[in-house]
Amino acid sequence: MNFIEGKIALITGATSGIGKATAKALNDMGVNLILTGRDEKKLNELKNILDVQTLTFTFDVRDKEMVSKTIEEILQITHIDILINNAGLALGLEPIDEGNPEDWETMIDTNIKGVLYVTKPIFKHMKERNEGHIVNLGSVAGKTAYPGGNVYCATKAALHSLNDSMNIDAYGTNIKVSNIAPGAVETEFSNVRFKGDKKKAKKVYEGYTPLSAEDIANAIICVLNTPPHVNIQYMDIMPTNQRNPYMLYRN
């Protein structure tokens, strides 16, 4: 059965990777979309290939004032049934004593504070309607740290804790909160982490078959498309060759 057809979903970071794949998957399920991201051109390109009703809004989740203003504008013209907190990134892979504090701040501002800025008004909106579903894109790195992951792993651990807290704050309501925790997924993730060094990024995925953005999008659909009384709070998903964040068998 399709429990989500006709609903409205807002996706952050929808211009590429998991966000873009999730938009396409939701489109196939008949879910109307609100796409957000930093690149207006890419958002419009995605909108043009979708069949469902789609709105686009350009902002950076780190910009508290712009997030607040834009979501207020959105809620004046429509409601939101589903929130996909997808925007996030990793920068660098150095030990803590060699890390770049500017990279740390970007990860913290995006992966933690950005989620809070977006979620607060939408959570309030969902409570008023007594329904909704929030999906947070975490990482297996939030449960098990890996060498050089330090601050990135810490931000995803914080997101996992926030997922718990959101479920507690949803007590007595019909709001669902889910955390999707992928392992190695081949997207622009490593290219961003290594600041455009494509050769270095490509090596991350050599010797095994990594997950794809579509794999994670399918997992998100599985979590969303459940009866009203079912709330899948956590889902860990990894390539078969990966058993935890740093045990990855390469042929």
Rounded CA separation 142/138 (Å): 7
Report residue 157 as tokens. 């651990």
Strand partners, 104: none
User: Which one, of 144, 169, 156, lies nearest residue 111 by Cα?
Assistant: 156
Rounded CA separation 233/224 (Å): 11
Is 205 designated active site? no
Rounded CA separation 53/128 (Å): 24
User: Which one, of 86, 82, 207, 65, lies nearest residue 139 by Cα?
Assistant: 86
Cα 39–62–199 angle (5° rounding)? 60
Spot the catalytic one: 152, 205, 208, 249.
152
Rounded CA separation 155/246 (Å): 18
Residues with catalytic roles: 152
